[in-house]
């Protein structure tokens, strides 16, 4: 049986390597050396039960020889796609008894070093061919949550704006130093809560912050002055559609919840922690406070102390766009602040950003430049925002390169850093992402400028599908094939469908059983996107 397992394992390994979109075959030996290190780390952890095997990648990254290699390869999306897929495939197929066969088969096929067999003997267990998305044996077992609360009366209470007291939370301030705010709609009869991080892009250097401040909406994206004035005048609008609706037909999951929207005014994807110097000119990035983390946690502290959140038995943390990026960055830390007995899950809509080359208008193809916009923003944010991304990622990071990408949702989800079950909602050629890559996608029609851009958008969508398939199995996915950006906060939650299931109903289904998440990733639709 060992021979069968070895041959099957080698086939799985080769298939795994083949999942990459494109890679330099001349460098295959270097790539395989790193894969061997991955397998050795798993060998060293062979005494662990499979439910705990997900610790292996983290322990692996502490090995100096791995770090040395990863430091140069980590940011290459093609190599990382292969490496991540192979890591995950190993976790899927390797039962305790089959690890030795798989390790020896791979090492034999790669050439080079041999390795001793781990203890535990052999097993007749068949090798799974489930593929990298089916890693439930690793991820899903860690999900253990209380049952969903029964529905109560819909929340028809009025919204109100609360200002965070800077005397208690002096660092919870907007870019311009004004106190941060949150909108709240209480339902005293409910112990269900939904706390949403507002979106609104970001600025990451002097030029982008200057442009943001000078824009028509800048006053509300970097300051609370206008928001508080409008609230006092009674002219401030509040969200009322999608996941914010109080109609059980429109919003079956959260119509009865206490609802909070923490206003976004820090421009740092909810991850910064750096004080500004108000005496500096507008065009100097050092002028601005980047306090997204402090704002989120100060709002939680106030709700726990004064609003009844301390009695919550169910909390859904969510966000759209930059708010979704914030969820990926700080959701586990937010979860730690909440009552230990509460059922805590999360929604991230429109924040799963992948590393992908920009569009080259001359060649009409992907740029060969090693720099892409997502990477550039991550680096600039790391340099100028302070703070950081996911805490477990940051703690394990060996160097600056790794710490930079602890704000990358792609890195965090594909490498298993986030423990809180998340429903990832992301349209496959999201206009917010492809436009940053140089694609002219019409926001209303969903059409692009020409056939070359259409082909680029299709390739981008294919990469998005491939990366979403690699997301850990504890997380749900809803990814339809279009270019819309954020669908859960509006009426589009009722009209956006995959396989006849509206997003509204997919959210409700996941909300009932988040530990058995359904993954809906729509196939490519012929003729879309068009031009």
Res 179: pLDDT: 98
The Cα 189–Cα 448 span in angstroms is 49
Interior angle at CA 52, CA 40 and CA 149, nearest 5: 150
CATH number at residue 170: 3.40.50
Residue 245 in domain: yes
Rounded to whole angstroms, the Cα distance separating 113 from 15 reads: 22
Rounded to whole angstroms, how far apart are CA atoms 64 and 67?
5
pLDDT of residue 219: 75
526 belongs to a structural domain: no
213 shares a domain with 128: no
What pLDDT sits at residue 150? 85
279/390 same-domain check = yes
Q: Domain check: are 376 and 441 in the same one?
A: yes
The pLDDT value given to residue 341:
93
> What is the total count of domains within the chain?
2
Query: Do residue 195 and residue 311 come from a single domain?
Result: yes
Nearest Cα to Cα of residue 288 among 381, 216, 377 = 381
Q: Which residues contact 81 (CB under 8 A, 6 or more apart)?
A: 19, 20, 21, 463, 466, 467, 470
- pLDDT over threshold 90, residue 110: no
Phi and psi based region of residue 499 (left: phi greater than 0; alpha: psi -120 to 50; beta: remaining): left
pLDDT number for residue 216: 74
Residues 125 and 208 in one domain: no
Q: What is the mean pLDDT of residues 128-139?
A: 28
Calculate the CA 306 to chain-centre distance.
30
Output the pLDDT for position 47. 35
- pLDDT at residue 475 in the model: 97
What does the block give as tokens for 379? 């680096």
DSSP string, 477-509: EEE-SS--S--TTSTHHHH-EETTEEHHHHHHH
The per-residue pLDDT for range 483-510, each reduced to its tens digit, is 999 999 999 999 999 999 999 999 999 9
Assess if residue 386 is contained within a domain.
yes
Q: Give the CA-trace dihedral at 311, 314, 315, 316, to 10 degrees.
A: -160
From 103, 138, 173, give the residue that closes a domain. 138
Residue 26 has a pLDDT of: 28
pLDDT at 137 over 50: no
Mean pLDDT of 231-238: 94
60 within domain boundaries? yes
For residue 161, which phi and psi values (nearest 5 degrees)? -100, 130
Residues 118 and 224 in one domain: no
| Rounded mean pLDDT, 1-17 | 37
Q: Residue 153: inside a domain, yes or no?
A: no
Average pLDDT over residues 418-428: 97
CA distance 71 to 307: 46
Question: For 297-339, what is each residue's pLDDT tens digit?
Answer: 999 999 999 999 999 999 999 999 999 999 999 999 999 999 9
Q: Which of 275, 258, 139 is nearest to 193 (CA)?
A: 258
- Residue 492 falls inside a structural domain: yes
Predicted local confidence at residue 198, as pLDDT: 98
Does residue 376 or residue 199 have the better pLDDT? 199
Regarding whether 273 and 226 lie in a shared domain, the answer is yes
53 and 86, same domain (yes or no): yes
Q: Mean pLDDT for the chain?
A: 78
> Which residues lie below 8 Å from residue 413, measured CB to CB, with a gap of 6+?
328, 352, 422, 424, 471, 472, 475
Least confident of 41-55, 309-323, 447-461, 477-491: 41-55
pLDDT tens digit string along 337-375? 999 999 999 999 999 999 999 999 999 999 988 777 777
Confirm whether 149 is domain-assigned.
no
Do 383 and 434 belong to one domain?
Answer: yes
Cis peptide before 529 (omega within 30 of 0): yes
Point out the least confidently predicted range of 73-82, 151-160, 211-220.
Answer: 73-82
* Chosen domain end from 86, 108, 138: 138
Residue ranges making up the domain that contains 224: 160-521
Residue 216 forms part of a structural domain: yes
Task: Compare 40 and 222 and report the one with higher pLDDT.
Answer: 222
DSSP 334-351: HHHHS-TTSEEEEEEES-
What integer pLDDT is reported at residue 142 of this predicted model? Answer: 56
Please tell me whether residues 105 and 195 are part of one structural domain.
no
At 371-416, the pLDDT tens digits run: 777 778 888 888 999 999 999 999 999 988 889 899 999 999 999 9
Mean pLDDT over residues 463-473, rounded?
Answer: 96
| pLDDT tens for each residue of 57-85 | 333 334 343 333 333 333 334 433 434 43
Contact by Cβ (8 Å): 341, 313: yes
Q: Which of 76, 104, 138 is the last residue of a domain?
A: 138
Report pLDDT digits (tens) over 432-449.
999 999 999 999 899 999
Residues 218 and 358 in one domain: yes
Same domain as 368, residue 235? yes
């Amino acid at each position: 049986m060992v021979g069968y397992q070895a041959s099957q394992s080698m086939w799985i390994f080769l298939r795994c390597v083949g999942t990459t979109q494109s890679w330099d075959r001349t460098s295959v030996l270097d790539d395989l050396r790193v894969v061997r290190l991955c397998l050795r780390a798993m060998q060293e952890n062979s005494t662990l039960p499979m439910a705990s095997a997900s610790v292996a990648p983290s322990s692996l990254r502490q090995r100096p020889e791995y770090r040395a290699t990863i430091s140069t390869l980590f940011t290459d999306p093609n190599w990382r796609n292969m490496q991540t897929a192979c890591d995950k495939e190993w976790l899927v197929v390797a039962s305790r008894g089959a690890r030795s066969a798989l390790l020896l088969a791979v090492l034999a096929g790669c050439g080079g070093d041999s390795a001793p067999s781990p203890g535990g003997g052999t097993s007749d267990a068949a090798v799974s061919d489930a593929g990298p998305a089916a890693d439930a044996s690793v991820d899903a077992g860690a999900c253990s949550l209380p049952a969903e609360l029964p529905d109560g009366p819909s929340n028809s209470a009025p919204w109100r704006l609360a200002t965070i007291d800077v005397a208690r939370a002096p660092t919870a301030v907007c870019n311009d130093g004004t106190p941060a705010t949150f909108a709240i709609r209480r339902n005293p009869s409910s112990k269900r809560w939904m706390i949403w991080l507002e979106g609104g892009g970001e600025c990451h250097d002097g030029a982008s912050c200057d442009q943001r401040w000078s824009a028509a909406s800048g006053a509300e994206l970097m300051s609370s002055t206008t928001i508080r004035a409008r609230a006092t005048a009674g002219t401030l609008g509040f969200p009322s559609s999608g996941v914010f609706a109080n109609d059980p037909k429109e919003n079956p999951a959260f119509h009865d919840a206490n609802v909070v929207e923490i206003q976004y005014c820090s421009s740092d994807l909810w991850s910064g922690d750096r004080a500004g110097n108000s005496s500096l000119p507008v065009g100097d990035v050092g002028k601005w406070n980047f306090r997204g983390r402090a704002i989120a946690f100060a709002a939680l502290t106030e709700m726990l102390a004064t609003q009844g959140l301390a009695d919550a038995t169910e909390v859904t943390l969510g966000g759209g766009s930059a708010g979704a990026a914030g969820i990926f960055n700080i959701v586990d830390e937010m979860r730690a602040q909440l009552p230990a007995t509460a059922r805590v899950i999360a929604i991230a809509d429109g924040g799963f950003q992948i590393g992908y080359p920009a569009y080259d208008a001359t060649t009409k193809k992907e740029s060969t430049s090693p720099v892409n916009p997502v990477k550039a923003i991550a680096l600039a944010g790391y340099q100028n925002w302070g703070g950081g991304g996911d805490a477990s990622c940051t703690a394990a990071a060996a160097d600056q390169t790794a710490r930079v990408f602890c704000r990358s949702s792609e890195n965090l989800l594909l490498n298993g850093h986030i423990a809180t079950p998340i429903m990832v909602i992301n349209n496959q050629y999201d206009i917010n992402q492809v436009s940053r890559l140089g694609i002219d996608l019409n926001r209303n029609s969903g059409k692009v400028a020409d056939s070359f851009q259409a082909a680029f958008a299709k390739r981008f969508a294919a990469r998005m599908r491939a990366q979403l398939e690699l997301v850990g199995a504890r997380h749900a996915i809803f990814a339809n094939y279009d270019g819309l950006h954020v669908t859960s906060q509006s009426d589009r939650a009722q009209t956006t469908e995959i396989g006849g299931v509206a997003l509204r109903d997919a959210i409700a289904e996941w909300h009932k059983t988040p530990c058995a998440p359904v993954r809906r990733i729509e196939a490519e639709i012929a003729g879309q996107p068009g031009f």
